Structure 1
Amino acid sequence: MITAPFKIVLIEDDLNLGASVVELLFLNNFEVSWLKNGVEALDYLQNNIPDIIISDLMMPLMNGEELFLKIRKIKKFNTIPFIIITANSNDEVRYRQLKNGVNDYIMKPFKVKEMIFKINNILALKKQIENKFTPDPFSKVTIKLSEKDFILSINAILSKGMKSTMDINEIANSLHFSRSTLDKKIRKRTNKNISQYIREFKLDYAIKLINLGERNIQFLVDETGFNSFSYFSTSFKNYVGQSPTDYIKAL
């Protein structure tokens, strides 16, 4: 059974990091609401209950520690997992967060797979405890997106199946097009055929992972659903002009 995407609230005042994390979480099938500081987050949370909260520690107006202590006093947030992310390596600071009841702690700079693994583990445990099952609105979302914006609907489908080999016929069927019609629509809007568009969509994701700190090329291959290491490397070099290894070394 397909389930609805988990809802994540991200509180991060670094605009570049926040934008990257939001996109990467979305590409891992999470629904993300991004707030820039604890005050904004506290206001947002009055009317919204996420599945998990991820907050930077050091922020203006209200830091992550203050936010955590405030929301834990609100009954409806007692069971919402809370992860702190920070560049502060002071052991006492980290121990204090954990003692306060924070569920986990991620040090900057962090690798995307570390964050994703920790989020998935915490949410899996939360789901087991609550035995919480909700209907999946994804098909309705896809339909609405396809009516509003063809490219957005394609991107939503590609994001959801990022780690798998994309079946173009299945993509076309999900949008109620023939394969040839889908290819014509993609060519008209992007000047690329559907295969090229899918391949470059995956490569753009790999580049975002690298720019956020990922250095394991095999992990990039697995995360983007390429059939082989060599095909990924060749495609990457043709697209970027450098091999994945050279691109990483140049950062």
Structure 2
Amino acid sequence: MKNPNKLNVVLIEDDLLIGDSIVELLTLNNYNVCWLKDGQEAINYLKKNIPDIIISDLMMPLMDGEELFLEIQKNKKFNSIPFIMITANADTETKFRQLENGVHDFIIKPFKVKELILKIKNLLILKNSIEKKFTPDPFSKVTIKLSNKDFIESVNEILLKNMKSKVNVVELASELHISKSTLDKKIRKRTNKNITQYIREFKLDYTIKLINAGEKNIQFLVDEAGFNSFSYFSTSFKKYMGLSPREYINNVQK
């Protein structure tokens, strides 16, 4: 039976000896572990369960780790779930392809137990810190009635609440109890930006905060900030910051 006070790890590994060892080690380090033997079994399990982290072997029968990752990423509820890939294939091309797909980290076989435990711990700490950073405090001033709040603060709260989706300006104006034209005028007056530019730059500022907090997966940034495409995000980011997302990440995390 799962302990509700422990974090939940899903392990997908077809090698029985390696899988058994990892389960034992993770259990000893105070994690609940669900061990699945192939990608298809994992897909069926993940349709009904959302773990705190997923660890998967790359080379498996039926569905390999790369296919599994790409499949679960189609569901946005998994965008913020850290994914570690285990592989004996350490060539650069394989690693780059997985990172481009959005995999968060690698474990190269054979690996040290401490390396695996620390990578799991660090990714979960990062995930938790990001969630806390961007979850409004229910006792803070954001809970004050709309009419008593600064207008920009009110706009920002709504944008943050709907960060992952494309913001409908008409719906935004409606939630603020003003017309679309009034919304645009108020934004222009306070920021010298039109509403479209303001929303885009608000989302970009959000991704910059995520990068500064340690995030380096660009596809994760695209999804978390609700951009329509990878290319639009990259173009907008470079125009706003003067650096591409990858260049900015490399500069921050040197």
**Superposition TM-score, scaled by structure 2 size:** 0.50
Q: Which runs of 4+ in 1 moved over 3 A?
A: none
Corresponding residue of 1:22: 23
* Alpha-carbon distance in structure 2 between the residues aligned to 1:50 and 1:125: 15
Post-superposition shift, 1:131?
A: 2.5
CA radius of gyration, larger in? 2
Identity over aligned residues, as a percent? 66
Q: Which amino acid aligns with 2:70?
A: L
Q: Which amino acid aligns with 1:105?
A: F
Post-superposition shift, 1:91?
A: 1.0
Q: Which amino acid aligns with 2:86?
A: I
Q: Which amino acid aligns with 1:57?
A: L
Q: Deviations over 1:112-145 (max 9, x none)?
A: 0000000000000111111399xxxxxxxxxxxx
* Alpha-carbon distance in structure 2 between the residues aligned to 1:87 and 1:63: 13
Structure 1 gaps of 5+ residues are: 134-251
Q: Are residue 87 (structure 1) and residue 88 (structure 2) matched?
A: yes
* Alpha-carbon distance in structure 2 between the residues aligned to 1:83 and 1:89: 14
Q: Write the mapping of 1:228-243 to structure 2, written as runs, cut at 5 A.
A: none
Post-superposition shift, 1:99?
A: 1.0
Q: Write the mapping of 1:1-251 to structure 2, written as runs, cut at 5 A.
A: 4-131=5-132
Q: Deviations over 1:5-37 (max 9, x none)?
A: 110000000001101100100000011000000
* Alpha-carbon distance in structure 2 between the residues aligned to 1:112 and 1:99: 26
Aligned residue pairs, count: 131
- For 2:33, what is the secondary structure of its paired residue? strand
Corresponding residue of 1:180: none
- For 2:81, what is the secondary structure of its paired residue? coil
**Superposition TM-score, scaled by structure 1 size:** 0.51
- For 1:120, what is the secondary structure of its paired residue? helix
Structure 2 gaps of 5+ residues are: 136-254
Tell me which of the two structures has the higher relative contact order, counting C-alpha pairs closer than 8 angstroms and 6 or more residues apart: 1
* Alpha-carbon distance in structure 2 between the residues aligned to 1:105 and 1:86: 8
- For 2:21, what is the secondary structure of its paired residue? helix
Q: Deviations over 1:173-218 (max 9, x none)?
A: xxxxxxxxxxxxxxxxxxxxxxxxxxxxxxxxxxxxxxxxxxxxxx
